[in-house]
Chains A and B, each alone.
Chain A
Amino acid sequence: MVKRKLPKIEIFLIVFILFIALLFLTFYIWYQAELIRIGLENQRIQEQINQLEEDIKRLEVLRSSLLSPERVEKIAREYLNLTEPDPGQIIYEELFTGFKK
C-alpha cells in the first residue's frame, strides 16, 4: 500500500473549511449566548420598570392617604393649633374684590 501525499492546496482547503466551520459554530454559539444574555438583561430592566411603576402607584396612594382632608384637618387643629372662625365670618381674602355693592 502506497501512501499518497496530500498536496498542500488540499491541506490548506481542509484547514480553511474547518476554520470557517469552527468560526461559524463559534459565532452561532456566541450569538445564542448573547441573545439569551440580552434577553435576560431586557427582562431585568423590564422588571425594574414594572417595579418602579408599581412604586409610583404605591406612592400616589400614599400621597392621597396623607393628603386626606381628615388628616389635614387633624394636623391643622392638633399640631398647628388652627381653629375655625365663628359662623358668619369669611376667611377668604381673595373674595373681597368681587363683592356686590
Chain B
Amino acid sequence: MKNQNSKQLPKRNLIVTIGLVLWFLLILGRLVELQVFKHAQLKNEAIDQNRYLREIWPTRGTIRDCQGKILAQSLSVPSLFLARGKNEENSSLLEKITALKSLIPLSSREWQRIRNRIDNGDRFIWIKRKISWEDCEKVKQAKIPGIFVQMESKRFYPLGAHLAHVLGGVDIDDRGLSGVEYKYNNFLQGKKGRILILRDALHRKYDLEVIEPAQPGQDLILTIDSNIQYIAERELEKAIFENQACWGTVIVSRPSTGEILAMASYPDYDPNNFATAEPSALINRAIQENFEPGSAFKLILAAAALELKPDIFHRTYDCSIGYFSIGGLSIRDHRRFNLLSFPEVFIHSSNVGAIQVALEIGRDYLYSWIKKFGLGEKTGIDLPGEETGILRPPNSWTVHTLPYLAIGYEISVTAIQLLQVINAIANQGLLFPPRILKSLEGPEGIQKLPSSPPVRILSSYVAREITDNILAKVVDLGTGKAAAIDGFPPAGKTGTAQKYDPWLKTYSSSRHRSIFIGFAPFDKPAISIVVVIDEPKAGRYYGGEVAAPVFREIGRRVLLYLGEIPRFKPEKITLASSENWRNHHQP
C-alpha cells in the first residue's frame, strides 16, 4: 500500500508540474503576443482611450471703433450634434430627433436635412448649430442618449444694423463674407492650434499638453466713430423717409487724414442675421453704387479750368439764353441767368455757363483732370467690392460727351470717389486715400497703420480759390443755402442728376438723384461729408433741397460732438434738459 502511494506521488507531481508549466507557457505566450506582436496596436488603443488630440479653434478678433467700443465680438455658444451608436438603426436616430423636436425649434428644412444625413448612414450629424443657452439647457435636462453639445464660436454685433455695411458679416463657420470681416479675415481669424488632452478612467480631463498653440485673431480698430455713425445713419434714414427715396448713402471723413468717421448706407441689414438679409440691402451704396454726379462734378471742371487758366476767374459767361444747343442736343439751366462770372457759374450751378467753360478748356485737358482726381478707378479704400465708376476714354466720346460731362453726365462715380474729390479741395490740393482701418491689436501690442502719403493733385492756390470764392459761396448765396451750419460756415457743392431710363433710352424728367458734397468749417476743415439720396419722390428733388439739409444736420451735430469751436457766438443758448422740456411743453 505504501509502495503504491509512493509510486503515485511522483506521477501526480509530474502532472501538476506539467500543468503549471503549460499554464505558465500559455501566460508567457499571451504576454509575448500582447507585448511584442500587438505592441504598437495596443499602445495606440490605450493612447486613444485616455488621450485625445484636438484642434483648438482660435478666437476671432474683435472689431472696435476708434473709441474702443465693441462693434463685433465672438462668443462661445452651444451646438447640438447627433452621434450614431454602433449598429444603431435609422429608426432609433429618428426617434431621438423627434423627441428633440419638442424641445427646440427645428424648421422643416432642418428636419429634412437631418433625415437625409441619417438615411445616408452618417455617423456625425449636426442637429442645430449655435443655439441659445436656454435651448441647450432644455436638451441637457432631457438627457437624450447620442445627442451631444459642442461649444462653437458665434459672431455678435451688439449694435445691430448699425455700421452693417462696413462690418459685413460672417458665415456659420465664422469666416468673413463681406465688409471688413471679409477684407481682414486673415488678421481676424488667427491660426488653429493642437492640444493633447489626458483623461482618467471616468473621462475627466486631468492634463493638457499644448502641441501647437492657437494664435488668436488680431483685433481691428476702425477709424469709424460709432457716435458719428449713428448721427449719419439717423439723418440719412430720416431723409429717405421724408423724401420717399429708394436708397441713400452718407460718408463722413476727416479730410486731413482720409480717415472715414462714418459710412452709412440705406437700406441696411442686421449682420447678426446676415444669411437672411435681402440682397439689395447688402449693397454698400457708398462704394458699390455707380451714379452720374450731376452738378457736383462741376467742382472738377472749375479746378481744371483754374489750373489751366488762372485768369479765367475774372471772365464772364453769357447765360441769358437759358439753354445750350450742340449737335441737336439742348441742355437747359434750372433757371434763367444773365451774365455770370466764372465763380457765379458754379455758385448758381449754371449748366450753360459750365458747358462754355468745358468747351474752353477742351476734352483732353478735362479728361486728364478727371483722371487726376481718381475718377474711373478705385480709391483703394480697404473695403471689398469697391466699384471703379465709369469713365470712357476721349477717343470714344461723341460730340455730346464734353457738354454732358461738364454738367456731370456720361460719367459714373461712387460716393467714395466724390469724397476723395472734396477732400482734395479741403486739403488745399493734397489727396489722402480714404481708409477704414486705424490699427491692429494683437498679443504683440497695438500696431498703428500709417496713412498713405498724400499726393498733390491741385495747387494750394487753386484749392483755396475754389474753397473761398466758389464752394463757401455756394452755401452763402447759391444753390446750397440749406447746408449752412450755424457757427461753422461750410463749403460745398450741390448736385442734381436726372436718372437715365433704359426703357425710354433717355433721361427721365421724374426720377432724380440729389447730391451734396462739402466740408466744414471751410477755413479749417474738420470734417467732410458726402450725401447722396436716390429718387426722392416727395416733391423736392434738387440737391440743395434734399441732400443739403442732411449735410447741415450731420455737420452741425458732428462738429459739436468733436468739440469744434463755433466761429461766432450764437444768439440763443438753450440747454437740453428735462426742465426745459417741461417749460416748453407744459401749460
Tell me the A residues contacting B by CB distance below 8 Å. Answer: 35-36, 39-40, 42-43, 46, 54, 57-58, 60-65, 67-70, 73, 80-96, 98-100
- Choose from A63, A82, A91, A96 the contact partner of B581 (Cβ within 8 Å): A82
- Shortest Cβ distance from B549 into A: residue: A87
The answer for the CA separation of A52 and B73 in the assembled complex, in Å, is 16
Contact yes or no, B158 A65, CB < 8 A: yes
- Asked if B565 is at the interface (CB within 8 A of a chain A CB), the reply is yes
Contact yes or no, B162 A61, CB < 8 A: no
Task: For chain B, residues 529 to 578, give those with C-beta under 8 angstroms from any C-beta of chain A.
Answer: 552-553, 556, 560, 563, 565-570, 572-578
Contacts of B76 in A (CB 8 A): 54
What are 7 pairs between A and B in contact, CB < 8 Å?
A: A40-B200, A60-B70, A82-B576, A84-B576, A89-B574, A90-B560, A100-B565
- Choose from A57, A70, A73, A84 the contact partner of B73 (Cβ within 8 Å): A57
Contact yes or no, A87 B565, CB < 8 A: no
Contacts of A39 in B (CB 8 A): 198, 205-207
Most chain B beta carbons < 10 A, residue from A39, A46, A94: A39
Contacts of B208 in A (CB 8 A): 43, 46
Q: Per-residue 0/1 for B140-163: is the Cβ within 8 Å of any A Cβ (1 yes, 0 no)?
A: 000000000000000010111010
Contact yes or no, B486 A36, CB < 8 A: no
Contact yes or no, A68 B159, CB < 8 A: yes
Contacts of A98 in B (CB 8 A): 565
Looking at the assembled complex, report how far the CB atom of B282 sits from the nearest CB atom of chain A, in whole angstroms. 21
Contacts of A94 in B (CB 8 A): 563
Contact yes or no, B578 A88, CB < 8 A: no
The number of chain B residues with a CB under 8 A from chain A is: 47
Contact yes or no, B158 A43, CB < 8 A: no
Contact yes or no, A95 B566, CB < 8 A: yes
The answer for the CA separation of A4 and B208 in the assembled complex, in Å, is 57
Contact yes or no, B575 A93, CB < 8 A: yes
Contact yes or no, B160 A68, CB < 8 A: yes
- Asked if B467 is at the interface (CB within 8 A of a chain A CB), the reply is no
The answer for the CA separation of A80 and B576 in the assembled complex, in Å, is 11
- Asked if B204 is at the interface (CB within 8 A of a chain A CB), the reply is yes
The answer for the CA separation of A90 and B575 in the assembled complex, in Å, is 8
Contact yes or no, B159 A65, CB < 8 A: yes
Q: A64-B69, A69-B227, A99-B568 given. 17 additional CB < 8 A pairs?
A: A42-B207, A43-B204, A54-B76, A61-B73, A64-B71, A64-B159, A65-B159, A73-B230, A82-B581, A83-B584, A87-B486, A87-B553, A89-B572, A89-B573, A99-B569, A100-B565, A100-B567
Contact yes or no, A86 B581, CB < 8 A: no
Contacts of A73 in B (CB 8 A): 230
Contacts of B359 in A (CB 8 A): none
- Asked if B226 is at the interface (CB within 8 A of a chain A CB), the reply is yes
Contact yes or no, A62 B574, CB < 8 A: no
- Asked if B75 is at the interface (CB within 8 A of a chain A CB), the reply is yes
- Asked if B267 is at the interface (CB within 8 A of a chain A CB), the reply is no
Contacts of B71 in A (CB 8 A): 64
Contact yes or no, B573 A90, CB < 8 A: yes
Contact yes or no, A95 B200, CB < 8 A: no
The answer for the CA separation of A82 and B585 in the assembled complex, in Å, is 11
Contact yes or no, B162 A40, CB < 8 A: no
The answer for the CA separation of A83 and B207 in the assembled complex, in Å, is 60
Contact yes or no, B576 A91, CB < 8 A: yes
The answer for the CA separation of A38 and B270 in the assembled complex, in Å, is 46
Contacts of A99 in B (CB 8 A): 565-566, 568-569
Contacts of A100 in B (CB 8 A): 565, 567-568
- Shortest Cβ distance from B73 into A: residue: A61
The answer for the CA separation of A85 and B573 in the assembled complex, in Å, is 9
- Asked if B505 is at the interface (CB within 8 A of a chain A CB), the reply is no
Contacts of B193 in A (CB 8 A): none
- Shortest Cβ distance from B197 into A: residue: A43
Contact yes or no, A54 B75, CB < 8 A: yes
The answer for the CA separation of A87 and B581 in the assembled complex, in Å, is 16
Contact yes or no, B205 A82, CB < 8 A: no
- Asked if B454 is at the interface (CB within 8 A of a chain A CB), the reply is no
- Choose from B158, B578, B582 the contact partner of A61 (Cβ within 8 Å): B158
Q: Contacts A39-B206, A40-B200, A90-B566 hold; do A61 and B576 have CB atoms under 8 A apart? A: no
- Choose from B198, B569, B576 the contact partner of A96 (Cβ within 8 Å): B569
Looking at the assembled complex, report how far the CB atom of B151 sits from the nearest CB atom of chain A, in whole angstroms. 9
Task: For chain B, residues 178 to 208, give those with C-beta under 8 angstroms from any C-beta of chain A.
Answer: 198, 200, 204-208
Contact yes or no, A92 B572, CB < 8 A: no
Looking at the assembled complex, report how far the CB atom of A26 sits from the nearest CB atom of chain B, in whole angstroms. 20
- Choose from A54, A63, A81 the contact partner of B578 (Cβ within 8 Å): A81
The answer for the CA separation of A95 and B486 in the assembled complex, in Å, is 14
- Shortest Cβ distance from B201 into A: residue: A36
- Choose from A40, A46, A62, A67 the contact partner of B204 (Cβ within 8 Å): A40
- Choose from A42, A43, A88 the contact partner of B486 (Cβ within 8 Å): A88
Contacts of A60 in B (CB 8 A): 70, 73
Contact yes or no, B577 A82, CB < 8 A: yes
- Asked if B487 is at the interface (CB within 8 A of a chain A CB), the reply is yes
The answer for the CA separation of A67 and B247 in the assembled complex, in Å, is 28
Contact yes or no, B70 A43, CB < 8 A: no
The answer for the CA separation of A80 and B160 in the assembled complex, in Å, is 24
Q: Per-residue 0/1 for B415-454: is the Cβ within 8 Å of any A Cβ (1 yes, 0 no)?
A: 0000000000000000000000000000000000000000
- Shortest Cβ distance from B151 into A: residue: A54
The answer for the CA separation of A100 and B521 in the assembled complex, in Å, is 14
- Shortest Cβ distance from A90 into B: residue: B570
Looking at the assembled complex, report how far the CB atom of A66 sits from the nearest CB atom of chain B, in whole angstroms. 8
- Shortest Cβ distance from B580 into A: residue: A83
Contacts of A85 in B (CB 8 A): 574-576
Looking at the assembled complex, report how far the CB atom of A89 sits from the nearest CB atom of chain B, in whole angstroms. 4
Contacts of B162 in A (CB 8 A): 68-70
Looking at the assembled complex, report how far the CB atom of B137 sits from the nearest CB atom of chain A, in whole angstroms. 15
Looking at the assembled complex, report how far the CB atom of A41 sits from the nearest CB atom of chain B, in whole angstroms. 9
The answer for the CA separation of A82 and B158 in the assembled complex, in Å, is 25
- Choose from B487, B578, B581 the contact partner of A90 (Cβ within 8 Å): B487
- Shortest Cβ distance from A39 into B: residue: B206
Contacts of A90 in B (CB 8 A): 486-487, 560, 566, 570, 573
The answer for the CA separation of A64 and B75 in the assembled complex, in Å, is 14
- Shortest Cβ distance from A69 into B: residue: B230
Contacts of B584 in A (CB 8 A): 83
Contact yes or no, A69 B226, CB < 8 A: yes
